[in-house]
Structure formats: C-alpha cells, structure tokens
Chain A
C-alpha cells in the first residue's frame, strides 16, 4: 500500500502500539522461561533475570528417578505422531475418493461427514468413555487416540485440494495399468503435499495440546499426556513453581520448533478457515 504512505503519517504510533502489544503477548512466555532458570531461593524474588541461572530444574524433571515427566513427553509424542499419520492417510484417501470418483450416495456421504463438524467434543466424551470402558480401552494409547483417528475437517480440506487436481495424470496412470492404491500413493499424494503439510501440522498441534478427552481417558499417571500431567503437576510438585514453569517450557518446545519451521503453512492454514478442533 505504497500509495497510502503520504496520507498516513501515523506509522510511528502504529509501531508503538504493535510493540506494546508484543510485550503483552510475549511477556508470559519470557517470564515462564526465566522462572524455569531460577532455583527455589530466587523463584519468589520478582527480579526479571535470575541472578544465578541454573538448569537444575530441567535436570530434575527429566532425570530424577521419581519424575514421570519423560514418560508424559513420550506419551504425548506417541499419541501426536500416531493420530497424525492416521489422519493423513484416511483423510486424503476419503478426500480423494469424494473428489475424483463417481458413485451413488457420494453427496450424502460427504454431507454426513461434514455435518459431524457441528458436534462439539464435549457432547461426545461421555459416550466415548462408556464405549472405552465396555471395550477395555480406558488407560491405553488406543483409548486416548481412537476419537481422533480421522478428522472431518481434514476430509473437507483434502477434498477441496483434490478437486483442483487435473484428472489427466490419474487417467494416464490408469492407462499404464497401475492399480488404484499405488496410483493414490505414487501419483495423487505427491501432488497435494502442501495440503498434507497443513493438515499434519494442525493435527499434531491439536493432539499435542488436547486436554479434555485425555483427562477422561487415562486413569494412572503413567498414561498421562503432557497437558494432563502438567495440570496434575502442582499436586506432584507441591506448588513447586519453578518445576511447573520448567514443565510448561518443555511442553511448548516441540511446538515452538514446529512453529518456526512451518510458520508459513501455519499462517496459511489459519487463514484458510477456523481450524480449532
């Protein structure tokens, strides 16, 4: 908007507002990080920077024998990766089928899947729990993961992307005598990698951060995911604030890394539509 420059001399105040806001948005993260570097004597002093920064809190939550933190981290990683792989496979397969195949009932099936977006998780956790109890899935990885193995939003996203894909490539592969599943993997999926990236990132973030269902689905601390563990940390750590801030920092670390690598896809994904689970 170069043309507006002459008409809007108010660029300096704009930067002041934006920078002040940045402080509000970032200070909690800074305070968390700095608190995690303080020891028990410094944690209650309101100085911004620790006098003697220490990594003892990190050593203690990762290496002390009675800390369950590494287990929670592992649980979250397992749940996040497994559900993301499942969602990528099934959602792109369904999206592809709905975009490129002609068969009776296609429209109804699409509407059926999309209408599930209207059902909030809160309405489903009680029957899910009954189901998990009946099938002895409570307190297992599968119990945490099963409701998120396929995402209706992902189906919608992949269908939109697949619809713009030229039919010629698929037809050419068919003429070559390739079978349908190999065509899907070798021809179709490589063409939609940008959409797969967006879906993978948001699905991983959503599962890494999920709280309500994992809280219900697990029964013992050994099976906690990171958010459930963090919520119970105050009990375990006895209002040990430096340990809580350390746990919070570590729980964010994988996401901050994902975020820095894939910032373009994340901004694009958010701009595409409301992506909250």
Chain B
C-alpha cells in the first residue's frame, strides 16, 4: 500500500462512525419524513397507504393549521426586527461607554444561557392575574389597569413574543458588538478628520459595515422565531397554544398532530410545509441582502 493510500484508509476509518451517524440520523430521517408525508402513516394504524396529496389538502383545509401559520408569521415578522433593532441600539450604546461593557454584556446574555423552560415558567408566574402576578401588581400600584396577558386571546401572543425577545436580546447584542470590533478605527479616524458628525459616522460607516452581521442575525433570528415551540408550550393557557389557538405556532401544531393525535403522515406533511417556508424565507433574505452588500 502506498503512503497516500494508507493515509486515505486511515481518514476513512476515522470518518466511518460519523458518516453512518449523519446519514442514519440526519439524511435518512429527512427523506423518510418527506416520503411519509404522502401516506396515511399513523402510530395507531397497522398498515400504511400512499394517499398522494391528501394530507396537504387536509392541513390547508384545517383552520387550526392556517391559524398556526399566521401566528408563526406574526412571531417572525414582529419578533425578528424588534430583537435586531433593540440589540443594535444596545450594542451602539455599549460600544461607547468607557467602563463596564463586559459586565453589562454578561448580564444581558443570562436569559439566553438559562433553560427556556425555566425562564418561561418564571414569566408565567410574573404574568399572573392580580393578586398573584408581580407585573399586574406593579401596574395596579402605579394606577394602570390590570391585564390578562397570557389569559387573553389578543395579549397572549405579544406576551410570548416579548419573552422570546428578552431571551434573544443578549445573544444579538454580543454578535453586534463583535461586528463593531472588526470595523477598523482608522476609517473612523479619517472620517472624523474630515469633519463627519456622530450621526454621519453611524449612517455612513458603522451601519453599512455592520450589514453582514445584521444579515447573519436576521437569518438566525428569523429561523429562531419561525421554529418557536418551547416558549409557546410552556407559556400558553387553556390548552397548548391557547387561548383559542391564538398562540399556537406551526411547530406546536406539528407536535400535537404527531404526538397527541398520532397522525404521523399529516404531521410529516405539515413539517414539510414549515421546512419549505423556513428555506424560502432564508433564501429570500440572503438574496435581498446579497444585492445590498454588492452595491
């Protein structure tokens, strides 16, 4: 055996188990799921039949599924810009304070590091109706009226969304700060020499140079909000995704179809739809930003 062949053999030996893993636990399940979305596969059924597009027809005729898609869109469309704009502002402020940057950064990222289930239950406790919830207690004490929050079909989704913004904020702030570190100070100095104001520096230099980082965050956070599950599962009232399905996300719909109703085929087609949406949104974002990056 030549030296090169021996080295290649060693490489394949090292890669053996991982390749079996990636094919067996990532690709094959994905393909299996796509195939099963065209069948009436159910955990309680003995046989499996091909049903063509019947599952897709049934979910798109299901008002709960359509509602879950609308809710998912609300989470993503409202949540992503909110968290990006807020974290950008925080990062810009943090970048100019002379002291304590590290400490603030650490405080802000704490919600991102801790278990979502645990912080969700803390917020659930704080959102309680009077006299149990601290937020309502504060509202009442300053003369505002008490709110239903998670118990209301109109306020529950924004409340869950706010909690997720609170969770993701520190993460985005750190990524923005890291992006700002890469801006060469010589550019700033030169612009300042030319008499640029602080606002001009921000608009003409900082923000354009942060565009790649912003793109990364829009994609990551967009996917994050489109996939929202744990927050909804642990914060929703009056049945999962309640009240009245007003907070139900697409992922929660899929979970319930699969593991409450055991309609695996229907759940598989719903997850295929969600996957297509995530993929399409990501590609469109990349495309739009690509044009902006190359102006």
Contacts and interface: CB of A to CB of B under 8 A. Distances in A.
B211 to A, nearest CB: 16
Contacts of B79: none
A31 interface: yes
Nearest to A29: B110
Given A112-B22, A244-B121, A97 B174 contact: no
A24 B166 contact: yes
Interface in B94-143: 94-98, 100, 104-119, 121-123, 125-126, 131-132, 134, 137
B219 to A, nearest CB: 8
A150 B119 contact: no
A26 interface: yes
**Interface residue range, chain B:** 35 or more
Interface string B232-253: 0110000000000000000100
Contacts of B192: 3
Contact of A271 (B174, B223, B264): B174
Contact of B114 (A93, A101, A152, A255): A255
Contacts of A18: 90, 93-94, 97, 100, 104
B204 interface: no
Interface in B72-104: 90, 93-98, 100, 104
Nearest to B119: A28
B26 A119 contact: yes
A248 B118 contact: yes
Interface residues of A, number: 92
Main secondary structure of the interface of A (DSSP, over half): helix
Given A46-B134, A244-B121, A101 B7 contact: yes
A90 B174 contact: no
Contacts of A58: none
A54 B36 CA distance: 54
A3 B189 contact: yes
Interface string A97-127: 1000111101001001100101111111111
Interface in A127-182: 127-131, 133, 146-147, 149-150, 152, 155, 180
Given A14-B96, A248-B118, A263-B106, A21 B125 contact: no
A25 B170 contact: yes
Contact of A31 (B8, B118, B122, B198): B122
Contacts of A8: 96, 198
Interface string B1-15: 000100110111011
B15 A270 contact: no
B129 to A, nearest CB: 12
Contact of A130 (B90, B166, B264, B278): B264
Contacts of B93: 14, 17-18
Nearest to B216: A274
A247 B120 CA distance: 13
Interface of A: 1-5, 7-8, 11, 14-15, 17-18, 21-22, 24-26, 28-29, 31-32, 35, 44, 46, 90, 93-94, 96-97, 101-104, 106, 109, 112-113, 116, 118-131, 133, 146-147, 149-150, 152, 155, 180, 205, 208-209, 211-212, 215-216, 226-228, 230-231, 233-234, 241, 244-245, 247-248, 251-252, 255-256, 259, 263, 266-267, 270-271, 273-274, 276
17 contacts: A25-B111, A25-B170, A28-B119, A97-B11, A112-B27, A119-B26, A120-B278, A124-B26, A127-B28, A129-B258, A149-B25, A209-B117, A212-B255, A228-B117, A245-B122, A259-B110, A270-B171
Interface of B: 4, 7-8, 10-12, 14-15, 17-19, 21-22, 25-30, 32-33, 36, 43, 90, 93-98, 100, 104-119, 121-123, 125-126, 131-132, 134, 137, 166, 169-171, 174-175, 177-178, 185, 189, 192, 198, 216-217, 220, 223-224, 227, 229-230, 233-234, 251, 254-255, 258-259, 264, 267-268, 271-272, 274-275, 278-279
The 3 A-B pairs of least Cβ separation, nearest first, read: A271-B178, A127-B29, A103-B8
Given A1-B98, A11-B98, A211-B117, 5 more contacts: A14-B97, A31-B134, A149-B25, A227-B117, A256-B114
